[in-house]
Amino acid sequence: MIKSMRNISIKDSRLAMAHMYVAFAALFVGATAGLLQTLERSGKFNLPGGIGYYQILTVHGVTLGLVLTTFFILGFMLAGQSRTAGEFTNSERKMAWFGYWMMVIGVILATIFILLNEATVLYTFYAPMMAHSAFYIGLTLVVVGSWFEGFVIFRRHARFLRENPGEKSPLFSFMAVINMVMWQIATLGVAAAMLLQFIPWSLGMTDTIDVLVSRTLFWYFGHPLVYFWLLPAYMAWYTIIPKIIGGKIFSDSLARLSFILLLLFSIPVGFHHQLTEPGIDPFWKYLQVVLTFLVVIPSLMTAFSMFATFEARGRELGAKGLFGWVKKMPWKDVRFLAPFVGMLWFIPGGAGGIINASNQMNQVVHNTIFVTGHFHLTAAATVMLTFFGLAYWLIPSLTGRKFTAKANKWGIIQTIVWSVGMAFMSGAMHWQGLIGGPRRSAYSEYAGNADTAAWGPYQIAQAIGGSILFIGMIIMLGLFVYLTFFAPKGEEEFPIAEEGPTSGETPAVLENWKLWIGVTVALILFAYTIPFIDIIQNAPPGSPGFKLY
């Protein structure tokens, strides 16, 4: 009986839901650490119990940037694939559970050592800062665990194509495969850094580490990491939002093409995080900056597609003119409102990314808190508001409950609170960055410095924003608990849109995996081989490790 109350089978629901528990626990821990950070940076508050600023900054970055995202995304993609391509087999599900538990063990291990202050190395774990080897082993387990879940996503997609010859694959499942192909290729970089550099070094098997190699391997992974967060939001915008507004998918092929372009161009661009680093030939930095501008194109295609979807639906409802659709959208439905506000945030967030990527401007903003402002608009506003918008219906749909009108009202309040908090915090970060405010710096590090007076008001504004965001997090967590355990039993729709009349035929070449993976690998080899050989051949002596506490 309960089975009929869900859009996907109970077994698949449980699997997806297991990911959500970890994701929302991480939200609680990470956002609390975030609040403490902004309070410390305001200069008006000392961290209690001798906790170090960099220790909580590590907690914040790891729990939100690595744990919350990875678990939410995998849970969402598994659920969506089960909904669109069909239920997983027992063996597929077993493999996913295996990956899940490996990730959970990895998270527990890494968390223990961060809490013991033995892994205060921030979420990017830049060498030569050294953590306890258990931290690196923990993160490696998270990565390898996620590979198993990725294999499940590939297998389910391949099975759909095998069982339905001649049929087009479901768009959601196609997008999930792209995201995981990108993830598997990108995480090879971080896995190599872990296995060949960090773990032997932290175990004392080697005395020194090649810093530039480790940073290069990290950013080979780090940029696609941010698209690994973004693509599930795009999946929701392309496949779910049209259904929520009562419309249709504008173009299936445009959606697939934009995902393919994101796959091709998101990996060979890591140098744009290393533009100020010596030891990399400027030509290769230039090349990767050009590729970075290419990866902007699929986001502009996505913006175009969203406008088209809104306008088409608006016109169906009688709207006229370019922006007539604005009056016709379901503003009181938070399943639409939260992701839409996320889209709005992506306009300044994306513009900030383009500023970062522009070499000369990067010299001004690099290592300032402007960059922190940028990724709070992109990751913490655009992506998170979309994820919250999904959670409102996804959680009850997985637990066999209803998303009630009361919960919808609280969701709207949450969206407003989150946006106001983010406007204060991220806005102040951008401004402070432009006047040279450093990122990742405790107030206690530079108190009394001549610049502190100029930065002061911005840091107070960040603390106000951080406090408002903390309230937003509490509301979200309350909603999560309510929708998981207390909302009335019933069936909540898992909305998936159909293609509209404008969609047209989808060319078969878009499903040619050999071609797209081949081009991806070729681009990576082109962008990285020569500079990487150069970095190794001209390496200075390795660096011994140090600890930040």
Considering only 296, 361, 477, 530, the residue that binds ligand HAS (CB under 6 A) is: 296
Nearer to ligand HAS, 350 or 396 (CB): 350
Give residues with Cβ within 8 angstroms of 498, minimum separation 6: 243, 248, 249
- Is 319 a binding residue for ligand HAS by CB under 6 A? The answer is no
Residues forming beta bridges with residue 527, ordered by sequence position:
none
Considering only 299, 397, 506, 520, the residue that binds ligand HAS (CB under 6 A) is: 299
Q: Which two tokens stand for residue 507?
A: 């060319």
Interface region with ligand HAS, contact rule CB under 6 A, candidates 75-83, 110-118, 201-209, 223-231: 223-231
Residues forming beta bridges with residue 249, ordered by sequence position:
499
Out of 227, 480, 494, 528, pick the active-site residue: 227
Q: Which two tokens stand for residue 139?
A: 């993160």
Nearer to ligand HAS, 17 or 289 (CB): 289
Out of 155, 159, 315, 439, pick the active-site residue: 439
- For ligand HAS, what does the binding mask look like between residues 376 and 395, x meaning CB under 6 A? --xx---x------------
Q: Any catalytic annotation for residue 154?
A: no
Q: Any catalytic annotation for residue 162?
A: no
- Is 357 a binding residue for ligand HAS by CB under 6 A? The answer is yes
Considering only 138, 353, 427, 433, the residue that binds ligand HAS (CB under 6 A) is: 353
Smallest gap from Cβ 548 to ligand HAS, in A, equals: 16
Considering only 155, 159, 366, 547, the residue that binds ligand HAS (CB under 6 A) is: 366
Distance CA(270)–CA(532), nearest Å, equals 12
Smallest gap from Cβ 288 to ligand HAS, in A, equals: 9
Give residues with Cβ within 8 angstroms of 27, minimum separation 6: 63, 64, 68, 473, 476, 477
Interface region with ligand HAS, contact rule CB under 6 A, candidates 30-38, 108-116, 349-357, 494-502: 349-357
Nearer to ligand HAS, 110 or 343 (CB): 343
Burial of 474 (0-12, 13-18, 19+ CB in 10 A): middle
Considering only 68, 199, 291, 306, the residue that binds ligand HAS (CB under 6 A) is: 306
Which helix (DSSP H) or strand (DSSP E) does residue 285 occupy?
helix 282-316
Smallest gap from Cβ 13 to ligand HAS, in A, equals: 27
Give residues with Cβ within 8 angstroms of 220, minimum separation 6: 186, 189, 267, 270, 528
Q: Any catalytic annotation for residue 93?
A: no
382, amino acid identity: T
Long-range contacts of 326-329 (CB under 8 A, 24+ apart): 329/245
- Is 307 a binding residue for ligand HAS by CB under 6 A? The answer is yes
Q: Which two tokens stand for residue 335?
A: 């399943």
- Is 527 a binding residue for ligand HAS by CB under 6 A? The answer is no
**Cα dihedral 457→442→352→380 (10° resolution):** -100
Helices assigned H by DSSP within 61-127: 69-84, 90-115
Q: Which residue's CB comes closest to ligand HAS? A: 350
Q: Any catalytic annotation for residue 19?
A: no
Do 80 and 235 form a contact (C-beta atoms < 8 A)?
yes
Residue count, binding to ligand HAS (CB under 6 A): 32
Smallest gap from Cβ 344 to ligand HAS, in A, equals: 6
124, amino acid identity: T
Q: Any catalytic annotation for residue 430?
A: no
From residue 518, give the alpha-carbon distance in Å to each of 299, 454, 525: 22, 51, 11
Nearer to ligand HAS, 117 or 124 (CB): 124
Residues forming beta bridges with residue 438, ordered by sequence position:
368
Place of tokens 């527990």: 108
- For ligand HAS, what does the binding mask look like between residues 76 and 115, x meaning CB under 6 A? ----------------------------------------
Distance CA(271)–CA(223), nearest Å, equals 9
Q: DSSP for 351-418, please give it.
A: HHHHHHHSHHHHHHHTTBHHHHHHHIIIIIIIIHHHHHHHHHHHHHHHHTB---HHHHHHHHHHHHHH
Q: Any catalytic annotation for residue 227?
A: yes
Nearer to ligand HAS, 127 or 306 (CB): 306
Nearer to ligand HAS, 229 or 458 (CB): 229
Considering only 356, 386, 397, 415, the residue that binds ligand HAS (CB under 6 A) is: 356
- Is 240 a binding residue for ligand HAS by CB under 6 A? The answer is no
Interface region with ligand HAS, contact rule CB under 6 A, candidates 34-42, 247-255, 370-378, 520-528: 370-378
Out of 346, 375, 387, 528, pick the active-site residue: 375
Distance CA(70)–CA(190), nearest Å, equals 15
Interface region with ligand HAS, contact rule CB under 6 A, candidates 27-35, 292-300, 421-429, 442-450: 292-300
Q: Any catalytic annotation for residue 387?
A: no
Interface region with ligand HAS, contact rule CB under 6 A, candidates 103-111, 180-188, 194-202, 345-353: 345-353
Nearer to ligand HAS, 226 or 479 (CB): 226
- For ligand HAS, what does the binding mask look like between residues 260 and 279, x meaning CB under 6 A? ------------xx------
Q: Which two tokens stand for residue 522?
A: 């070729």
* C-alpha R_g of the chain: 23
Nearer to ligand HAS, 378 or 432 (CB): 378
From residue 546, give the alpha-carbon distance in Å to each of 113, 190, 207, 483, 539: 16, 20, 12, 45, 20
Q: Which two tokens stand for residue 544?
A: 């011994």
Residues forming beta bridges with residue 344, ordered by sequence position:
none
Q: Which residues bind ligand HAS (CB under 6 A)?
A: 124, 226, 229-230, 272-273, 292, 295-296, 299-300, 302-303, 306-307, 343-344, 346-347, 350, 353-354, 356-357, 362, 366, 371, 374-375, 378-379, 383
User: Which residues belong to the active site?
Assistant: 223, 227, 374-376, 439-440
